Amino acid sequence: MAQQLAIVIMPGSHTQIGELARAAEDAGFAGACMPELTNDGLMCCYVMAAATEKIRLITWIVNVYFRHPWLCAAAASMVQDVSGGRLTLGLGVSHRPFMQALGIDMGNARDKLRSVTVALRKIWNGEMSIGVPARKPKTPIPIYYGALALETARLAGEIADGAEFYMCPADRLRKLANAARESAVKHGRKASDISITVGLPTFVDDDLERAYDTARQQIAFYPALPFYNRQLVKSGFETEAKAAMEAAARGDRKAQVAALSNRLVDAVALVGPASRCIERLAAFREAGAEMPIIAPGGPDTMENTRRLIQVFAKAI
């Protein structure tokens, strides 16, 4: 039986998005994941739906603070119907520094995640009305949570259909996956009702040291975000996390990059020759990831993503 694997399609032109999603589908990938950065994640999934026939379309993630649940429900329903039932709605809360910069008060982020999920399901079930009929999807839409904390993993196990972890060492992933599944059972569900994914920044290069250097440059800003910093501390990288946060606070980019040890990079990313990266996937699968997600590192180009599609097609 083929092992499931997904890949992140970075937002670009609608032509690029569609072409890369189709290339991933043709290579046998189970999912195409769309981040929401300077784009609309659901709109980009609509584009991917039009270019593909069978690959799962996964928002990775859409921000619950950017849309009213009614609009989110309507947009997700449209993508679900156009794609023939292939959408997975990944929801998340982003990060306080980003939300504060936009003037958004996050309040209690987990409470927000819960309330939006409840509202979406009520809208899709016809239990919430604004005087006009809700757009109901023809097939149910799975909801996954972008999660870093154990409490969010437990919330996913309680009311969601899956979890999207990221920058997560294998040992930490095992804890989060177990917490989600135990929570599912506690709330009268099956452990198998919650699907586990993990995003892996990926830097394929035959020169291992150069790959480490590229990876450090690319992922150095994550430890400067409080949520990720706490996850790294809890994963045994307190020294690196503290040094990176302090460097970021004083605006020392060079020190922020240098704070990340090779050990940390190896724990959260796939780095080095293709064979080494493919081999490392096993540790995350063994830790509970049913569908690892390849997140292209290095040049943000179509060529780089196409190359990774070709490399990791061998791991399917």
Query: Tell me, what's the pLDDT at 298?
Result: 82
Each residue's pLDDT tens digit, 294-316: 999 987 788 999 999 999 999 99
Query: Tell me, what's the pLDDT at 243?
Result: 98
| Cα distance from N-terminal residue to C-terminal residue, the chain | 9
Query: Tell me, what's the pLDDT at 166?
Result: 97
Mean pLDDT throughout 25-47? 96
CA distance 6 to 57: 10
pLDDT band for position 1 (50/70/90)? low
User: What type of residue is 255?
Assistant: A
Query: Tell me, what's the pLDDT at 300?
Result: 75
pLDDT band for position 12 (50/70/90)? confident
Top pLDDT among 38 and 111 is at: 111
- For residue 114, give Cα distances in angstroms to 22, 108, 231: 33, 10, 21
Asked if 41 and 60 count as a contact pair (C-beta separation under 8 A), the reply is yes
pLDDT band for position 95 (50/70/90)? confident
| Mean pLDDT of all residues belonging to the chain | 96
Sign of the CA dihedral with 150 first, then 154, 159, and 161 last: positive
The two structure tokens encoding residue 241:
């996390």
Query: Tell me, what's the pLDDT at 31?
Result: 98
The DSSP letter of residue 93 is: -
The two structure tokens encoding residue 226:
């409080």
Mean pLDDT throughout 194-207? 98
Q: Where are the domains of the chain?
A: 6-207+267-315
CA distance 229 to 221: 10
CA distance 178 to 191: 9
CA atoms within 13 A on the CB side of 180: 30
Mean pLDDT throughout 221-232? 94
CATH code at 6-207+267-315: 3.20.20.30
The two structure tokens encoding residue 156:
């996913």
CA distance 4 to 1: 9
The two structure tokens encoding residue 5:
């694997």
Mean pLDDT throughout 169-198? 98
Q: DSSP labels for 16-71?
A: HHHHHHHHHHHTT-SEEEE--SSS-HHHHHHHHHHH-SSSEEEES-EETTTS-HHH
Asked if 173 and 148 count as a contact pair (C-beta separation under 8 A), the reply is no
Give backbone dihedrals phi and psi of 273, rounded to 5 degrees, phi first.
-60, 155
Asked if 29 and 7 count as a contact pair (C-beta separation under 8 A), the reply is yes
Mean pLDDT throughout 234-248? 97
> Which of 146-155, 195-204, 296-305 has the weakest average pLDDT?
296-305
